[in-house]
Chain A
C-alpha cells in the first residue's frame, strides 16, 4: 500500500456509532410483532441449530443407506428365485429326456431279446 492509499485507509477507519444507537435498535425490535420475538423466532432458531442440522443430515444419510441396502437385498432375492426356477426347469427337461432315453433303451433291449428267441 503506497502512502496515499494509507491515507485513504486512515480516512475510512471505522467510526463510533452515535450515542444511544444500541438502545434505538433494541427499541425498534421491541416494536416488532410478538410472533417474531417469541414462538416463531424460537422455532426458527431451533430448526436452524447446527446440532439439529447434523442430526437431520445423519438421519437422511441413514435412510438413504437403508433404502439402498434393502433394494440390493430385493434384487439378490429376485435373482436367486429366478435361478432356482431355471434350475428346476432344467431338471424337468433333463428328466423328460432321460425317461425317453430309458424307454428307447428298454425297447431296444426287448427287441433284441425277442429276436434271440
Chain B
C-alpha cells in the first residue's frame, strides 16, 4: 500500500514536471489525510487543522520544484505539517492542560477500539508539551522509526528517545488514573 502511494505520487510528480497541473490535485488527495491528521492530532481542533493542512499544501505548491522524489514528498509534507501545527499551537492563547475531569469516565473496561478511550487518549496527547506531542504523533499515527522522527523534527536521536519515553510515561500515568489503575 505504501509502495502504491509512492508510485502514484511519483507518477503525479512526473506529470507535474511536464506542466500538467491537474496532477497536483492527485497529490493533495493522496496525502491530505496524513497532513490533516498530523495537524488534527496536534491541535485537537478540526477547523484549525483544516486551515493548517491547507497551508501545508499551499506551501507544497510553491515549493514543488524542490521536491526530488515521492519519498522526499512524504518526508517534506510530514515535516512541514509538524512545523505548521507547532506554529499554530504557539499562536493559540495559552490554555491550561486538559484535566482528567474534563474527560468522560469510561463506563466499562475498554477494548482497544473503544471510541471513548480513543477520544480520551487523543485529548491526553493534545495536552502534552508540543515537542513531545509531535514525537507521539509521528510515532503512533505515522508509525515512523525514531531515526526518521529525528530527521523530520531536526533533533538528535537521543532527544527523540527521551521525549518519547517522557511522553509515554505521562500518558501512561494519566491513562492509569483515568481508568482507575486498569491500564498498564
| A interface residues, Cβ below 8 angstroms from B | 2-18, 21-22, 24-26, 28-29, 32, 36-37, 41-42, 44-50
Q: In the bound complex, do residue A9 and residue B32 qualify as a contact, i.e. CB atoms below 8 Å apart?
A: no
**Inter-chain CB contacts under 8 Å: number:** 111
User: Helix, strand, loop or mixed for chain B's interface?
Assistant: helix
B75 to A: closest C-beta gap in Å:
16
Q: Are the C-beta atoms of A9 and B183 separated by less than 8 Å?
A: no
Least distance between B68 CB and chain A CB atoms (Å): 8
Which of A4, A32, A44, A46: most chain B Cβ within 10 A?
Answer: A4
A48 contact set on B, CB distance < 8 A: 17, 65-67
Q: How far is the CA of A4 from the CA of B114 in the complex (A)?
A: 12
Residues of A within 8 A of B168 (CB): 5
A14 touches B37 (CB 8 A): yes
Contact A36 B62 (CB under 8 A): yes
What is the CA–CA distance of A32 and B184 in the complex, to the nearest angstrom?
51
B123-148 contacts to A, CB under 8 A, are 125, 136-137, 140-141, 143
Footprint of A on B, CB under 8 Å? 16-17, 19, 21, 24-25, 28-29, 32-34, 36-37, 40-41, 46, 50, 53-54, 57-58, 61-62, 64-68, 110, 112-114, 117-122, 125, 136-137, 140-141, 143, 168, 171-172, 175, 183-184
Q: Is the CB of B21 within 8 A of A9?
A: no
- Cβ A49 vs Cβ B17 within 8 A: yes
Chain B residue at minimum C-beta to C-beta distance from A51: B17
Contacts of A37 in B (CB 8 A): 21
- Residues of B close to A21: CB separation below 8 A: 32, 36, 50, 53-54
Give the shortest distance, in Å, between A56 (CB) and chain B (any CB).
14
Q: Is the CB of B61 within 8 A of A4?
A: no
Q: Within 8 Å CB of B171, what residues of A?
A: 8
Assess whether B66 is in contact with A45, with CB atoms less than 8 Å apart: no
Chain B nearest Cβ from A33, distance in angstroms? 10
